[in-house]
Amino acid sequence: MISALAFAAGLSLSPVVGCARAFRTPSRPISISNSGAAQRVLVTDGLAPAALDALAAGGADVTSRSLTEDELCAGALAAYDAVIIRSATTLRADALSAGAAGRLRVVGRAGVGVDNIDVAGAHASGVTVVNTPSASTASVVEMTLALLFAAARNLPAADRGLRSGEWLKPPARGEITRDYP
């Protein structure tokens, strides 16, 4: 069920193993089944509409809302089978333990790192932590290429000149990246 997040984003999930945050490919699907009842999934930091639609299409009862630290510690996660977070929500051991006392079985991190999740606390409470380690790969590559082209064409200097009222066309020509006949 939680893999609908991955399918919606075209990514693969990886369980977080132990406290060392080692990643591996799951040998079997992660299940949060609760005897055929609709699986309740909480999304705390927002997701793309396509991801929310994919979760709902997979049969999940999806709730999208933010929780305060007090609500988390008071056991708000106990009403959900899974919670999907991004970087704005921090899940401490006490919140995970309170959630695991109810229905919580999986924490999905829609992103690369799990530094905002107490992984040891999750494992101690029997909660599986998964993330999407390749989530930002395309964005990082795009940004890297954009910065390389900007540096090759001296765009930072051209931008500063334009903002100060100067048109610095010759310095902005930069390096030619291809020889034309």
The pLDDT score that the predictor gives to residue 133 is: 86
Q: 62-85 pLDDT, tens per residue?
A: 999 999 999 999 999 999 999 999
Q: 136-163 pLDDT, tens per residue?
A: 888 899 999 999 988 888 888 888 988 9
CA-based nearest residue to 45, from 109, 2, 119: 109
Q: Which residues contact 129 (CB under 8 A, 6 or more apart)?
A: 15, 16, 106, 107, 109, 114, 117, 119, 122, 123
- Average pLDDT over the chain, rounded to an integer: 81
Instruction: Provide the percentage of residues in the chain whose pLDDT is more than 70.
Output: 74
100 or 133, greater pLDDT: 100
Question: Please, which pLDDT band fits residue 105 given cuts at 50, 70 and 90?
Answer: very high
pTM above 0.85, yes or no: no
Instruction: Provide the percentage of residues in the chain whose pLDDT is more than 90.
Output: 50
The pLDDT score that the predictor gives to residue 34 is: 54
Residue 151 near residue 130 (C-beta atoms within 8 A): no
The pLDDT score that the predictor gives to residue 174 is: 65
Question: Please, which pLDDT band fits residue 42 given cuts at 50, 70 and 90?
Answer: very high
Q: 5-38 pLDDT, tens per residue?
A: 444 444 445 555 443 333 333 444 444 555 567 8
In which residue are the tokens 């992660």 written?
Answer: 30
The pLDDT score that the predictor gives to residue 170 is: 72
Residue 78 near residue 99 (C-beta atoms within 8 A): yes
